[in-house]
Copies of this chain bind each other. A is one copy, B any other.
Amino acid sequence: MAASLKQLAAASGYSINTVSRALRDKSDVNPKTKEKIRTLASELGYVNNNVAKSLRTGKTNTIGVISADSSNPFFAEVILGIENTARQFGYHILLTNTEESPEREREAIKILLGKQVDGLLLMPVLQQYGSCDYLKSLSIPYIIVGRWLPGLEDHSVISDEYEKAKEATLYFIKNGHRDIVHLAGPSCVSSSVDRMAAFRDAHIETNTPLKEDMIIETKGHLEDGYHEVSSLIRSEKHISAIFAFNDLLALGALRALKENGIKVPKEVEVIGFDDLNFSKYLYLSLSSVSIPKKTMGNMAFRALLDHIENPKAPYTKKVLESRIVYRETTLVHEP
């Protein structure tokens, strides 16, 4: 067992409190005493027990991060941004994944509350009922990252994805595409809802007919993009453009197109979403909506920290600007 304040006190002859104050560099301890105690502490390998400290102070300097899937490069990048910023401010993160399951989300919240985290950063799924009320009753601050929940919009740090999704769709429509496939994400994810709505609205606003079977809901995984587009091609449905909910789907789609000898961007143009690190290094560098992922993580943590330090502060929605990068999977590079 590592040394405790009690042992340092015994060894130094000072009281526990003096040792504690010395190590925390408080004012009314003699500099010489501080010095003596500090050397002793490092000799004995003293490590402050944060569990005890947290119990006493009511602060853990730990936040909970509830992600859907931390191995998804989008989340991974956001989480990296969170972790980096958190560490700079002396916070650490307890990471847990839900795989978009509402049950696991609640479970995670409960456990993290039990662990007395100072705040929560979460990427929640939309739910019929329950979730919001549950969150609203939380006594600790929380920020929703890259998503929104109805009635809790002010808790979000998010990108302007509706606008950019519409812009991407309009790009296709303006370029004459009439058979645009939307590889959508899960309907329980707000970003998927937004991007799909934008896709629809772009059609409506331009009076472009939209066949419902061109919207394909997926889980947003690599394989989904590949399989959905493969079977689309097999069914001999005409496709002239693909707007993917994320770059993973787009990548899967590109592979399916290639395997079927369909030329990108000549025969089919593709735009993805998220602009993952690898997207611009692909054989055909992928046109995508670029979301500042690390910045999003950074801002989310800072927003959370604000509320941790100032619990009465009102929440305000923060919107990050994203931009479409037109690369080799689209014909026009500067539309």
Contacts and interface: CB of A to CB of B under 8 A. Distances in A.
Classify chain A: how many residues form its interface, as a range.
35 or more
A15 to B, nearest CB: 21
B93 A94 contact: yes
B83 A79 contact: no
A153 B83 CA distance: 29
Interface stretch (A69-77, A141-149, A195-203): A69-77
A47 interface: yes
B47 A51 contact: no
Contact of A278 (B45, B50, B54, B222): B222
A48 B76 CA distance: 30
B93 A139 contact: no
B83 A95 contact: yes
A26 interface: no
A97 interface: yes
A139 B254 CA distance: 51
A296 to B, nearest CB: 13
A52 B77 CA distance: 33
A5 interface: no
Interface string A93-126: 1111100000000000011011110000000000
14 contacts: A45-B137, A48-B114, A49-B55, A50-B115, A62-B115, A70-B70, A84-B97, A93-B94, A93-B95, A94-B95, A222-B277, A258-B283, A278-B278, A282-B283
Interface of A: 1-2, 45, 47-52, 54-55, 60, 62, 69-71, 73, 76-77, 79-80, 83-84, 87, 92-97, 110-111, 113-116, 137, 139, 222, 226, 248, 251-252, 254-255, 258, 277-278, 281-285
